[in-house]
Amino acid sequence: MAGVTADVASGDAPEAAPGEAPDAALLVDLVSALLAAGSGIEASLDRLARTVPGAEPLSAVHRALAAGAGWDEAWAELRRGRAGGGLGALLSRLPGRREETDSRLRPLCDLGEQLTFAHGTGAPSTELLQIGAVRLRSARRHAAERQVARLGVRMVLPLGICFLPAFILLGVMPVVLGLLPQVIDGALGG
């Protein structure tokens, strides 16, 4: 985290894989550090948008807040999965077009949910944000554990299909073939 924090402080954007979503807990930790350093929430959102790969849609939220929009209004486009505007946002507003939320925006929406109390009250919230980051990490860990548990159940059938014939061919057939001469001799010799 120190490397990412140094990048945020210097304003240099680190390289990331294309289409990679930022980690919500890391974003909350970074905002907490920026707030502890004396930065405001809007300035923190702008800094994250400029420096953290995948957090670029936060610039739309920052611009809306700077233009005087309310908190919920500023986050509305991001929550609908249409942050950043462009042709995709225009096409999604056409009649009959289904709204599809971009899964890469979910961590940014989680960040917005964590920052709602701090923005609404103006209370010192670095400790609350750190607790929120721990909660986000815990939720992510539990989701991963659930996926691993489901994977174990899903792997039973393919493993059974692959290993059962191999067990029969390598374990049962040699025993049957080894006993076959004795059974035939016993049946014929009588």
Helix boundaries (H) for the chain: 2-10, 24-36, 41-51, 58-66, 71-79, 86-92, 106-121, 126-154, 156-167, 173-189
What's at 128, amino acid-wise?
L
pLDDT at 145 over 80: yes
Distance between CA atoms of residues 21 and 106, nearest Å: 8
pLDDT digits (tens, 9 = 90+) for 53-102: 888 888 888 888 888 888 888 888 777 765 554 434 444 444 444 444 56
**6-10, 20-24, 150-154, range with greatest mean pLDDT:** 150-154
Q: Mean pLDDT in the chain?
A: 78
- Of residues 70, 65, 78, 73, the one with CA closest to residue 22: 78
Q: What confidence score (pLDDT) does residue 91 get?
A: 41
* CA 140 to chain CA centroid, nearest Å: 7
The answer to whether the Cα torsion of 48, 49, 55, 58 is positive or negative is positive
Q: pTM for this one?
A: 0.62
Distance between CA atoms of residues 174 and 177, nearest Å: 5
